[in-house]
Amino acid sequence: MRTKFSSILTLLLVLVVQITFAQERTITGTVVDEDGLPLPGVTVLIQGTNTGTQTDFDGNYSIPATQGDVLVYSFVGMQTAEYTVANNDTIDVTLTTDSAQLDAVVVTALGIKREKKSLGYATQEVDGSEVSDVPTQNFVNSLSGKVAGLKVSSSGTMGGSSNVVIRGSSSLTGNNQALFVIDGTPVSNANTNRTGQDAGRGGYDYGNAASDINPNDIASINVLKGAAATALYGARAANGAIIIETKKGSKGKGIGVSVSSTLMTSHADMNTLPEYQDEYGAGYLRGYGPDGDEYFNLYDVDGDGNLDQVTPFTEDASFGARFEGQPIYQWNSIYPQLEGTDYDFYQQATPWEAGENNPNAIWETGYTMINSVALDGGTDKSSFRISGTNFNQQGNLPNSQIKRNTLKFSGEHEFTDKFSAQANITYTKTDGKGRYGTGYSELNIMQSFRQWNQANVDIYDQRAAYFATGENITWNANGPDNLTPIYTDNPYWTLYENYSTDTRNRYFGNINLNYEINDVFSVLGRFSFDTFDELQEERKNKGSVGVGYLDTYFLEGTIRRDRSSTLPKENNTFYYPSISTSVLLSNVIDANWLSFAKLRANYAEVGNDTDPYRVFNTYQISAPFGSAGWASNNSQLANLALDPERMKSYEVGIEANFFDRRVGFDVSYYNSQTENQITPVPVSTATGFATKLLNAGTIENKGFEVSLNLNPIRTEDFNWNMNINWARNRSEVLELEDGIDVLQLANPQGGISINAVPGEPYGAIRGSAYVYDDNGNQVITSGGYYARTPNANYTIGNIQPDWTGGVSNSISYKNLTLNFLVDVQQGGDIFSLDTWYGRATGVYESSVGLNELGNPKRNPLFNPDLEPGDPGYIPEAEQGGVILNGVQGDIEYDSNGDYTVTNTSENTTRARTDYFGNPFGYGRDANEGHIYDASFVKLREASLTYNFGSQFIDATPFTNASISLIGRNLWIIHKNIPYSDPEAGLSSGNIQGYQSGAYPSMREIGASLKFNF
């Protein structure tokens, strides 16, 4: 039966093909602009079908068509042209300028389509190809540097979350993330990491929900930046919105098929990994042995009755003995489980030397494979598109992987001329294995590699020991008589035995019914769904009205009413308005050089509620203790008098294009204040609570955004387009609750804290600081070390950058196109827990080298009380240590923590650098010494694409085909933080500017093949 059915199907297919080819012929031609220059990339489509092609770099095209077909020629910035196929086989077309795209349509709030010229607020569009041509696991990362005022910070872990903030942080303790809207449906971008993970207390970063969005399904992205742009979304979009329109099918006959396949390999960027010293081994100082004056301990390892020199196994530092190749009993000599295995060093001494393979050798080659297939088509009243994408990422650490499968359907049907229905449904299934542990935790192998390590350990020896036994054979055992780890596990044990797994199934989308009453009014009914449920109930009313005059003057107003069950009944209903206006100056100014100009301004207010269960005090019910019930207070005192938060914002801007769109710019100035912030503030624990909830605090964000578009060269064979984005945001905490000088946002490991401080930008880093005299010289103590403040209440940095920007270029020569993006951040600060600990433990190369005397810094200081032959004696001319630049003087503090320095003189006292109490780590340094400038310049991505011309396409069943070489995170051109990527962090959220066990940046290189038929 199956054979007979197949034969009939084949016969029908052959018949249809014969009939089709009998009617078709090939139409060729050239498309040029008004100056006669060829236009590459013009879309040529048979009207009412999905059959189409694009012109090559010389403007030539070739398309099969039949007599009577209407060919539609479209190109960005040009008026669409239509030609009917008659008896001729050649159709040459001249496209004319479309008045600088005055009638371009963009998607705004609630899926409303508006003419861009009428908008009174700033938006910036990104084509879907800009996030799919060089794909990433989370498409949001591809927006970095491409939108002015949008700051994207990736945690740097496999599948990790990304922080997405538009125009600065507007909430003290709440959500500052932009809202994501897909085909009119707001979707969650939350992460589900455990409490404390974002503050460095350990855990895994499972990523945020935006990573479920498949970049291959994205048609366009419109970033709405201000409160006026997002007013109709209300509180959820107080931080801006990212509006995503997905690809849809086209009405007409036939089915089109699109296929893309991408393979990328990745390697750790060595410039973001530690540079290890390889001169000294395990230990904190010369303080071991029976008398506490040796570098090694003594223990009879081989059982011959004699004491052997053994490494100090418990010590996770490298301030021990210099490597001289002498035989020492090390970690691999004390485990009887190794006896008789392929890695048998039990009871054997090995040479005292640096590990041949330092911890950086654990990083392997990763790869990412992405395969996508899409079918689209329709009838004269219906259209559809269905796609499937398989994403498979093998991580750069052993036993790590992320798999994601995405299915998407979109469809539309017109029941009548006025009544239609649409549906958009997406299903994703994500499976993660071996996600990277973060923060100060044994789950994070980088914590040990960057902070606590023995240089004598070879990482491949640790691997061999694990695979030989399947056990936790660590270099950091308690000792020969107790083989359990004291602090650090074997990293391969962590990766293969203590790994995480996760699965997420997600459905999101909408079903719409639309009835057009007349040309002005329509009624839309929408059912939206997302598997991430909200724990709150809302009632909303919203409305907007807009008018235009002479197609030049535009005015729009909106009003929204929200009712929230998370606020007290008396205060749970709130209104907020917006008004925006724009004037098309180019309709008023008649000049040939001016293609388009628009002046815009707006004012808006946005309300916001709070999380559930913050109005009434409740008890936490615990498991019974015996037969007795058990309940306790929450740590936070609720508030029955909460008011909604409110943001007030205004914006002015101008955008213009000149010289036939060869030069264009968009400049905005904005100012927003968020007041009545719902904030937990600390109270005395004598009250029974740790915090109470208040309307306390105001934040201001103000700044400039600039986008510049240039077309420096445009010839027959060569075209160069450049886009430059730049943004400067100034954040300031204007006020907190009376009596509160500092609101602590987080107090991670290392003695520092992240805070909101009135009069300072949001995200002040506070900790211990250096002491300076009136001339700016650092003050040195009488012992030769840096003087530091007596407490950690000093502002030593801030997480906010001075400005951000990006420069993207697209350079085409005939069928070859080169695209690349340079991403820039200037300013902002990071505290590194890695150098705070690692410079005290002798991990980094900076702990070795020569001092100003030409002696090794790690030589001991000259001690006049020691005689030649005494342990630790060294001649004065051979002593180590360093003399720190600065002055010595008397320091006097007042009650406010301010100080004065008097009686200064140049420092001549030498400080020890041969043990953990050196001047550069946690033992004696100030937190300020580990604040680094977060500036960077990166070659973020690049692609080199060849589009196959008509000569190749005509000989294949394809309508389009291209092959690309692609790369991402290719080169950190400039950075100031050592051993790390300045963008590396913990996760998304408000706690930024802190690194602990930071992961390296991954350089990705690969190829992509795309074709349509």
Average pLDDT of the segment spanning 348-365 = 97
Cβ contact 987:191 at 8 Å: yes
Residues 6+ apart with CB under 8 A from 435: 157, 158, 159, 160, 204, 205, 206, 400, 402, 499, 500, 502
In this structure, CATH architecture of domain 123-251+368-435+502-763+799-828+934-1012:
Beta Barrel (2.40)
List the structure tokens of 419: 């009544």
Average pLDDT of the segment spanning 404-430 = 92
Mean per-residue pLDDT of the chain: 88
C-alpha dihedral sign at 859, 861, 864, 865: negative
Angle at 627 (CA atoms; ends 626, 628), nearest 5 degrees: 95
Confidence of residue 111 (pLDDT cuts 50, 70, 90): low
3-state secondary structure of 23: helix
H/E segment holding residue 382: strand 382-394
Going by the DSSP 8-state scheme, the letter that residue 1000 receives in this structure is P
Residue 322's closest CA among 915, 858, 863? 858
Confidence of residue 681 (pLDDT cuts 50, 70, 90): confident
Angle at 610 (CA atoms; ends 609, 615), nearest 5 degrees: 110
Distance of CA 345 to the CA centre of its chain: 45
Which residues does residue 943 pair with via DSSP β-bridges, in sequence order? 819, 966
Q: Which region among 461-475, 505-519, 808-822, 877-891 has the lowest average model confidence (pLDDT)?
A: 505-519
pLDDT 10s digits, 79-92: 888 888 888 888 99
Backbone angles phi, psi at 491, to 5 degrees: -60, -30
pLDDT at residue 189 tops 90: no
Q: What is the pLDDT of residue 517?
A: 85
Which residues does residue 649 pair with via DSSP β-bridges, in sequence order? 604, 672
H helix runs in 761-910, sequence order: 833-838
pLDDT 10s digits, 852-872: 999 999 999 999 999 998 888
Cβ contact 1004:953 at 8 Å: no
β strands within 751-898, DSSP E: 753-756, 764-767, 794-798, 803-813, 816-826, 829-832, 882-883, 887-893
DSSP assignment of 425-464 equals: EEEEEEEEESPPEESSSTT-HHHHHHHS--TT--HHHHHH
Confidence of residue 97 (pLDDT cuts 50, 70, 90): low
3-state secondary structure of 994: strand
pLDDT 10s digits, 555-614: 888 888 888 888 888 888 888 888 889 898 888 888 888 888 999 999 998 877 887 888
Q: What is the pLDDT of residue 21?
A: 40
Burial track 889-915 (b if 16+ CB lie within 10 A, e otherwise): bebeeeeeeebebeebeebeebbbbbb
Q: Residues spanned by CATH 2.60.40.1120 within the chain?
A: 21-97
H/E segment holding residue 876: none
- Pairwise CA distance, residues 994 & 1007, whole Å: 35
Average pLDDT of the segment spanning 709-734 = 93
- Pairwise CA distance, residues 779 & 902, whole Å: 10
pLDDT at residue 13 tops 50: no
pLDDT at residue 120 tops 50: yes
Residue type at 762 in one-letter notation? Y
Top mean pLDDT of 7-16, 353-362, 637-646 is at 353-362
Average pLDDT of the segment spanning 349-374 = 96
- Pairwise CA distance, residues 369 & 260, whole Å: 11
pLDDT 10s digits, 759-772: 999 999 999 999 99
Residue 754's closest CA among 788, 802, 796? 796
Residue 983's closest CA among 929, 926, 946, 937? 937
Cβ contact 959:1013 at 8 Å: yes
- Pairwise CA distance, residues 541 & 543, whole Å: 7
640 vs 201, higher pLDDT? 640
Cβ contact 334:308 at 8 Å: no
Q: Residues spanned by CATH 2.40.170 within the chain?
A: 123-251+368-435+502-763+799-828+934-1012
Q: What is the pLDDT of residue 109?
A: 53
- Pairwise CA distance, residues 677 & 680, whole Å: 10
Top mean pLDDT of 170-184, 317-331, 711-725 is at 317-331
Confidence of residue 949 (pLDDT cuts 50, 70, 90): confident
List the structure tokens of 704: 């400039």
pLDDT 10s digits, 41-62: 788 888 877 677 878 767 888 8
Confidence of residue 186 (pLDDT cuts 50, 70, 90): confident
Backbone angles phi, psi at 206, to 5 degrees: -85, 5
List the structure tokens of 161: 């979350």
What's this model's pTM, rounded to 2 decimal places?
0.85
Cβ contact 85:27 at 8 Å: yes
Confidence of residue 289 (pLDDT cuts 50, 70, 90): very high
- Pairwise CA distance, residues 434 & 778, whole Å: 46
Residue 988's closest CA among 35, 188, 207, 86? 207
Share above pLDDT 90 across residues of the chain, in percent, rounded to a whole number: 53
Q: Which region among 549-553, 889-893, 955-959 has the lowest average model confidence (pLDDT)?
A: 549-553
In this structure, CATH architecture of domain 21-97:
Sandwich (2.60)
Going by the DSSP 8-state scheme, the letter that residue 920 receives in this structure is T
Residue 112's closest CA among 170, 43, 181? 181
